[in-house]
Structure 1
Amino acid sequence: MSNIQNINIPKPCHQSWQQMMPAESGRHCAQCCKTVTDFTTMTNSQVIAYLSNTGNVCGRFNEQQLTNLNHQFSADIPATATSGWKRLAVIMGIASFALSFKAVAQNKPATTVQTPKPTGDAGSIMLGKVVATTDAAKTRVITGHIYDDQNLSIPGVSVKTPSGLTRATTDTAGKFRLTIPADTKQVQVLFIGYKPLLVDICADENYQVKLTTEQYGMLGEVVVTRTPIIKRIYYKCIKRPIRKIFN
């Protein structure tokens, strides 16, 4: 097993995967001139091997795939961590005994040094630069269906947290699945041509979201109505010259 403990994408890429040009291992993003690796076609072992040998990776993950990978890392960590803590406990025990013996001999109090525990942060996202972290934040999974005024499903809708660090896109059936921090209060629903919408997050796990179209100004072919040619000749050749003579 590699030394990777967690995988997340803290700064999501806002570019459309469908609009990127196909490349050897994924698709090429013209915005940042990088190849985005498609990890959705790889097994967990292939993903781990790839990330263990490659740095500075932009990737595309299936959200459930990221969850499964991080669960696998979590399952592998305790044995290593436990053996490490056992070694640390033995070392601290020996050090404590030596300090206690010295304190009795010199009648001086011994000092205890506390080792701070590592802290970390993690999230999950489908497209962006891959970053390995040490701990996983508490999250919850919400799902939903997004449709329009005619009750038709809308694919390609962006659903994200207000910070933008966690987002998902609806599939061809207008459905989405999003892992969010447990304390998230709202998510944003965005799609071109429709009014942006904030959805309150409550105890429900599945949401039915209706988007309404934006109200634009009048659109259409421009038609210009002009004065009939006879009237234009009359004003130009007769009426206007006569006015100049008398004025």
Structure 2
Amino acid sequence: MSGKVNISIPKPCHENWYGMTVAEKGRFCNSCQKTVYDFTRLSDKQLIEKINSESNICGRFLVSQLNKDLRVPKEKSSIWIAGISGILSFLSLGNQEAYAQESVNTEQTEEKNNVEKIIDNSSSASDIEVIGTVTEQNGLPLPGVFVSISGKPIIVQTDLDGKFSIKAKKEDSLKFNYVGYKTKTIIVTSQKNVAIILEDSEMYLGGAIIEKRRTFFGRVFHSIGNLFR
């Protein structure tokens, strides 16, 4: 895929997204009798592929996806990847013998370290198991929401029903992150069951205007081609 793609919505739609009928990959708008695709969770590559496969697209976009040049990152050559893999494999051969000699001496130490890690990660009596459900504004569950504790490497995700369970301490800050929605933070209290509603991030609905721009070399070759017409 060469060149760049720029998406704009000159006339945003004011229909209620949550008032539309749920459909595959989006919702169906009874007003315009069209499927409105949900592009808010797509990467730039997925977004460009969808645009190239269809015309006259009506969708739901994040503000960050509009009025900017989208480009698909170049994939690394399989030959280059194979070459790097070969070099790394060759370098690792020299370390295997030394590692084999040291493995016997470090076996007992590693076992001890593993026991210490298990003890460090065990739950203390002050931990609170917070159980809850994350939904969007119309009450539909949100699967795949990241639930984390600020300052700690603890992250879980909601299941298909939007449910989650996480162990935290009182006064910990729980953060809820999901693409297309505003991040929400709550403070852990003695309450163990919570219901979280995520609000939409700023986004637009409407028919997308797609502008495809050539790369520098693309413009040069196009100009040369015009000379022979």
TM-score, normalising length: structure 1: 0.35
Structure ranking higher on relative contact order (CA contacts 8 Å, 6+ apart): 2
Please identify the structure whose Cα radius of gyration is greater.
1
TM-score, normalising length: structure 2: 0.37
Greater share of residues in strand: 2
